[in-house]
């Protein structure tokens, strides 16, 4: 997987456009002059968590005696479930109701940005990205930069696109993520079959 492909995959998994209405809703109770700071703080927390999993994912898998094959299949399944909720949204949103007050870690940093699918994806990327962890870190940094730009302007984007435009964009990203999830799962299954004794 190339650096560009890894970055695109992470942007789709982080789903900044799909998070626009959720972030805008989570910031309603926050004073307007603090909103950018809160978003940047949550992005920094999410980035730190993802980097931790990117660097420590391999040793963690070894400690738990898990193979990259099982992680690839599990990551694909999780991505597929998230993608289905993007394509067929529920009334409570992608990850349920967002609590009132100033968010701290939950729900913006975790699970909206650094959710289960993102954590699984960065661990897989650490082994598949060009130049290993360094390539994964470069892809993650680029994807987080895209997320930062989108989420800092979340309220403006939500107003411009409207509910229909935001929903259409989220469904489109969900369709792309579905295809990636299937590819990730099939790749894991293919490696599992190749490892079976003949």
Count how many Cα atoms sit within 13 Å of the Cα of residue 30 in the half-sphere of its side chain.
18
Write the pLDDT tens digit of every residue in 135-162: 888 999 999 999 999 999 888 887 888 8
The phi, psi pair for 99, rounded to 5°, reads -70, 160
Question: Cα(first)–Cα(last) distance of the chain, in Å?
Answer: 28
Q: How many domains does the chain have?
A: 1
Token duo for residue 31: 């004073």
pLDDT (tens digit per residue) in 60-87: 777 878 776 777 777 778 778 777 877 7
Asked if 10 and 118 touch (Cβ cutoff 8 Å), the reply is yes
Q: How many beta carbons lie within 10 A of that of residue 153, not counting itself?
A: 15
């Amino acid at each position: 997987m190339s650096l560009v492909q890894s970055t695109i995959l992470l942007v789709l998994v982080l789903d900044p456009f799909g998070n626009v209405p959720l972030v805008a809703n989570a910031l309603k109770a926050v004073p307007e002059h603090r909103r950018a700071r809160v978003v940047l703080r949550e992005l920094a927390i999410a980035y730190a968590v993802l980097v931790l999993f990117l660097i420590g994912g391999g040793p963690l898998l070894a400690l738990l005696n898990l193979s990259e094959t099982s992680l690839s299949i599990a990551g694909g399944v999780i991505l597929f479930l998230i993608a289905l909720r993007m394509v067929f949204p529920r009334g409570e949103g992608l990850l349920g109701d967002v609590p009132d007050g100033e968010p701290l870690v939950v729900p913006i940093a975790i699970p909206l940005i650094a959710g289960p699918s993102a954590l699984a994806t960065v661990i897989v990327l650490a082994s598949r990205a060009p130049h290993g962890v360094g390539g994964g870190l470069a892809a993650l940094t680029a994807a987080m930069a895209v997320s930062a730009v989108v989420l800092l302007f979340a309220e403006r984007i939500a107003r411009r696109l409207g509910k229909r435009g935001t929903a259409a964009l989220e469904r489109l990203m969900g369709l792309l993520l579905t295809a990636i999830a299937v590819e990730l799962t099939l790749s894991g299954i293919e490696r599992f079959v190749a490892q079976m004794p003949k």
